[in-house]
Amino acid sequence: MTNWLLLRGLTRDQRHWGDFPGELAARLGVRVVTIDPPGFGTQNGRVSPKTISDITDDIRGRFEPGEDEWSLLGISLGGMMALNWVQRYPQDFRRCVVVNTGAAALLRPHQLQFGLVSLIAGKQFRSAPAQEAAALRLTSNRPSAELAVTWARYQQEAAPLTASVLAQLAAAATFRLPARISVLLLVLASKGDRLADYRMAERIAARFDAPLRLHPDAGHDLPLDDGPWVSEQIARWLAQAS
């Protein structure tokens, strides 16, 4: 049985996965583990590194796989980490899934999304609940006022340093896709993503000759908007690969 490690995205920690780890574990009948990136969640007292490679190495140094077999799933910035990880340490994981991820070199000028810039820039002028509500409106096509309150509480309980937020932004901006990866890869994305244009996922799938599955209307936070769909796509992919 293959276990799964999940990597979250920009400025998020493992609590932001919500119900998805349980959904994935139940659908696949596997163990699912989450971990915080440096500077966020349980690691919020630290400053995040400024490159995807250094963030990945930090997480890898805290990850304890034991003798088990593992697969890796990353969303958004976590997808960048996942691709970097399996390219540099292919022995660590058997399979990899990336969700709504990309790289600067894949984004065409007319596809630029400015929502993230306004979200980060407006943080100092908003209360925590208002900021998280704005984040949900940008990343989810099914935003919940109740969830915004929960996420605001997360920020109050473990607020990241501003230096860590800026470091993650720098890491995302400078990330370059690997030339090749040797592990099995599945690319998932949503046509309704208003943060990362889904055509970047098309280019990732083409580069690595990987299958691509597109959700018709979910937002950037695809596991939040339709976790069962994500789990089902992974289950079908595993069945085809076996």
pTM above the 0.75 mark? yes
More confident residue, 115 or 189: 189
Residue-level pLDDT at 112: 44
Average pLDDT on 37-59 reads 98
Confidence label for 67 from pLDDT (cuts 50, 70 and 90) = confident
Cβ–Cβ contacts within 10 Å for residue 165, how many?
A: 17
Boundaries of every domain in the chain: 2-241
Q: How far apart are CA 205 and CA 192, in angstroms?
A: 18
Q: How far apart are CA 240 and CA 233, in angstroms?
A: 11
- CA-CA-CA-CA torsion for 162, 129, 231, 233, nearest 10 degrees? -80
Residues in the chain, overall count: 242
Query: How high does pLDDT run on average in the chain?
Result: 90
pLDDT digits (tens, 9 = 90+) for 191-218: 999 888 899 999 999 999 999 999 999 9
DSSP bridge pairs for 99? 75, 188
CATH placement of domain 2-241: 3.40.50.1820
Contact residues for 109 (Cβ-Cβ < 8 A; gap 6+): none
* pLDDT over 70 at 81, yes or no: yes
* pLDDT over 50 at 111, yes or no: no
Average pLDDT on 53-75 reads 96
Residue holding tokens 């690691």?
43
Q: How far apart are CA 143 and CA 186, in angstroms?
A: 26
Confidence label for 133 from pLDDT (cuts 50, 70 and 90) = confident
